[in-house]
Structure 1
Amino acid sequence: MSELCYDSILTAEKDDTSLCRLGLIGAGIAKSLSPMLYQAEAAAQNIQCQYSLFDLDDPITATLAELLDMAQEQQFKGLNITIPCKQEVIPLLHELSPEARAIGAVNTVCFHNNRRIGYNTDAKGFRECFERYLSGVGLSRVLQFGAGGVGAATAFTLLQLGVQQLTIVDVVQKQALQLADRLQHHFPDRNIRLSLTPKEDMAQAVGIVNATPIGTLRYPGTVMPLSFLRADMWVADVVYSPAETALLHAARAMGCQTLDGVNMLVYQAVRAFELFTGSSADVTRMLRNFKQL
């Protein structure tokens, strides 16, 4: 697979009269708000958009490879990719953006000139909302829970932002080790390590990131004992349903600076919308629409 500049597809001519067919592939997505989020922004820009869900938990749903073939044959503009396909999708693509290649995960696939191009808008979305809502926080020692597709994007972004020591915790040790090795290659001057018993790391961290599904309605709970939270910490959570997880609720009550998953979701959707349509999205409008939904 060759590399492709992130913004190259934005130069493609946009046909406002054509149907913009989009979709989301993932597991447990039957209640996803993505169709309404993308269709509302498209309608605001007079773009005819049809957004479909392909839930891998549905026994009648085809495989990931078959869904990509179908979408390409039916002239979809692109697809959003979520758990558990962000890494599995890579061998099925023709090209990757440099960032997606470095991160090792794809959450956005565009069909362009009969080719499948993979991007990672999670990283750009996380960075933009981090800089907006957590600007100026400490970056010396950060503890991240989760080394999957979204965790790869947040970890990469944290190091881009200047984190000096990043400790990664994941129940799948092999996955965490692979992520740490990949990140160390791109950031050789940083201290990137794994932790199996993170009590000491929680006590020393200036920032905590939850990049796991723990805290969702499907997987309730918290990734860490709430007794380890301190008022001088910042806490970011990628979970967006509910918007305020138990972790964020406790962190806010303690006075921590926080970043919720709704912002990351919408900011990454803004970038994906631009890739799909060639039009700039209005992040304020998309945030407002999502919160109304």
Structure 2
Amino acid sequence: MDAARPSVPASGGPAVRIGLIGRGIGSSLTPVMHEVEGRRQGLDYRYDLIDFDRLGLDDADLGAVVEAARDRGFRGLNVTYPFKQAVIPLLDGLEPEAAAIGAVNTVVLHDGGRMGHNTDCWGFAQSVRKGLGPVALDHVVQIGAGGAGAAVAHALAQLGAMSVDIVDSDLGRARQLAERIAETSKVRTQALVPAHLGQVIGMAAGVVNATPVGMEKLPGLPLDPDLLNRRQWVADVIYFPRETDLLRRAAAKGCRTLAGGGMAIYQAVRAFRLFTGIEPDSAEMGRTFAAYA
């Protein structure tokens, strides 16, 4: 399991080894946030990137990679695109929020077991609270119903959204998420395909991109920016690149924007606590993120 990682000097404290599983994750700042905070806490903290693209692995290798991490003494794994849902059958259990969301981004390995958690939901909600403050949530259009989208939709419900339109090229997946949100909250939901965006986006108070479109690995725009108007706020879950084309175009139209960096920081804060049992300093992790961004 060869993996690249940032160069952060180790401390002489207890050894903790963590990994991030995904595709196209070479620019991720999660490793350095964890390693710097681990060193600050007196741990010998190593965080490896397990990039399926760079290592030439198939999606079908996911189970073997998780098993190898456990066998090699990893304390845990973070999981990102495209494995947040595919990893679930490989686990021994899910904590309640991860089960409700139907997606996992954090796997704690202990006593031979594999427990799935979701720190993305809280991470996105906290990012909105800190990065946007009070914003209109009467009607939000969310693009993407995959692993990140599931967490974001639940976060929007927790933040008090009244109505969420979930847009995905896979209408069945959008419907499944919309139904799950409607069943577990008072949020009104509907599922749509991208061709219907023009019918609803102009009425929305906010728009969230929860797809991987716009990542360095998948450049492009998840929607036509001409559909946006200056009264809206626009958020993106992507943080590499630090500012996506979508956010650049939205800001040019006068929209308030929220980059994915905040979500990346806060999900890492909660994951660090799950991996170590130690409460990290979120401000310090944020400063590390800013220093390396």
TM-score by length of 1: 0.90
Percent of aligned pairs sharing the same letter: 44
Runs of 4+ aligned residues of structure 1 deviating over 6 Å after TM superposition are none
Deviations 1:106-142 (A, max 9, x none): 0000012321111000001111111112222111110
Cα deviation for residue 184 of structure 1 reads 1.9
Q: Which residue of 2 aligns with 1:21?
A: 17
Residue 34 of structure 2 corresponds to residue 38 of structure 1:
yes
Instruction: Tell me the equivalent position of 2:132.
Output: 134
SS of the counterpart of 2:288?
A: helix
Q: Per-residue CA shift, 1:50-99, capped at 9, x if unaligned? A: 11122222225781111121111222110000111111111111121111
Give 1:12's aligned residue: none
- The one-letter code matched in structure 2 to 1:21 is R
> Which amino acid is the alignment partner of residue 156 of structure 1?
H
Residue 85 of structure 1: aligned partner: 83
Residues 1:59 and 2:56 are matched in the alignment: yes
Q: Distance in 1 between matches of 2:179 and 2:199?
A: 22
Long gaps (5+) in structure 1: 1-15
Displacement of 1:33: 2.8
User: By how many angstroms is 1:286 displaced?
Assistant: 1.3
- Following superposition, the deviation at residue 285 of structure 1 comes to 1.6
User: Hey, what's the Cα distance between the residues in 2 that align with 1:26 and 1:212?
Assistant: 15
Aligned partner of 1:193 in structure 2 is: 190
Aligned mates of 1:237, 1:231 — CA distance in 2: 16
Q: What secondary structure sits across from 1:198 in the alignment? A: helix
User: Residue deviations 1:13-47, cap 9 Å, x none?
Assistant: xxx84210100111122343322221111111111
Closer/same/farther in 2, CA of residues 27 and 133 from structure 1, 3 Å limit:
same
1:107-186 equivalences in 2 (<5 Å): 107-186=105-184
Taking structure 2 as the reference length, the TM-score comes to 0.90
Moved more, 175-184 or 248-257: 248-257
- How many residues end up aligned between the 2 structures? 277
Give the distance between the partners of 1:136 and 1:235, measured in 2 at CA: 14
> Is the deviation greater in 204-213 or in 59-68?
59-68
Q: Which position in structure 2 is the counterpart of 1:6?
A: none
SS at match of 1:155: helix
Structure 1: distance between partners of 2:229 and 2:26: 37
